[in-house]
Amino acid sequence: MRQAFRLEDCADDAAAVADALGVDTFIPVGYSMGGTIAQLVWRRHRDRVDGLVLGATAPYFAGRRPERLSFVGLTGLATIARYTPAQARAWITDQVYLQRKSQQWGPWAAEQVAAHDWRMILEAGRAIGDFSSTDWIGDVDVPTSVVVTTADDVVPPRRQVKLWRWIPDADVFRVHGNHDAVVSESDLFAPQLVRAIHATRRRGR
């Protein structure tokens, strides 16, 4: 049985990749779940981080009761997935989860998710539901830029704005688009992301 998916391990992997490349310090750039990982890179490897760029992400994801219940469901499915054969796992996740989520996600998102290991997808969802940086995000002491997707129906814009407000002296950049704006509105998103990166670099000099 493989080890359960952990966002903390992803953060440590990012630092390990920098080690392998001979990079001492760097600016983590994280989008959506990647934004939680970038936050954790700062928390777990502060001496390596020169700044942060966080896009379409938040300090927590399971706020209201319906959201919490949704993530509880993911936790149950992830547990089932760890202890069932691959064929049964694929059937359970397809019938119980994918069909339901396909009604909410766009075709691109559904296609991307369907191409991955469902057990890891479910465990990643559980990890996101458990994630919260509310107790320590205000301690971030490096230049930070937050890219807010203002029409996001996956990570509510108000929660993205909280992230910006809770990080001392953070800059904010806005893109009018949904959670897939990085793809569907790339002509708008990419320039704002580049501006956010440059702003963080300038402040770090």
Whether residue 193 sits in one domain with residue 103: no
Give the pLDDT score at 44.
98
Residue 1 within a domain: no
38-84 residue pLDDT tens: 999 999 999 999 999 999 999 998 865 455 444 444 444 445 445 55
Whether residue 95 sits in one domain with residue 180: no
Give the pLDDT score at 111.
62
Give the pLDDT score at 94.
56
Contact 188, 112 (CB under 8 A): no
Domain final position from 129, 158, 177: 129
For every residue of 71-124, DSSP letters joined together read: HHHHHHHHHHHHHS-HHHHHHHHIIIIIHHHHTTS-HHHHHHHHTS-HHHHHHH
Residue 164 within a domain: yes
Domain final position from 76, 107, 129: 129
Whether residue 46 sits in one domain with residue 138: yes
* Number of independent structural domains in the chain: 2
Residue 46 within a domain: yes
Whether residue 50 sits in one domain with residue 16: yes
159-171 residue pLDDT tens: 999 999 999 999 9
What whole-number distance in Å separates Cα of residue 109 and Cα of residue 78?
20
- CATH code: domain of residue 56: 3.40.50.1820
Give the pLDDT score at 108.
57
SS3 127: helix
Whether residue 107 sits in one domain with residue 75: yes
Phi then psi for 104, rounded to 5 degrees? -105, -35
Give the pLDDT score at 4.
76
Contact 161, 61 (CB under 8 A): no
- pTM for this predicted structure: 0.77
Whether residue 108 sits in one domain with residue 165: no
Whether residue 118 sits in one domain with residue 76: yes
Domain final position from 77, 101, 129: 129
Whether residue 50 sits in one domain with residue 27: yes
Residue 2 within a domain: no
Give the pLDDT score at 123.
74
Whether residue 96 sits in one domain with residue 197: no
Low-confidence stretches of the chain (pLDDT < 70) are 1-2, 63-122, 205
Domain that holds residue 200: 7-61+133-204
Give the pLDDT score at 80.
45
Record the tokens describing residue 6, joined without a space: 């952990």
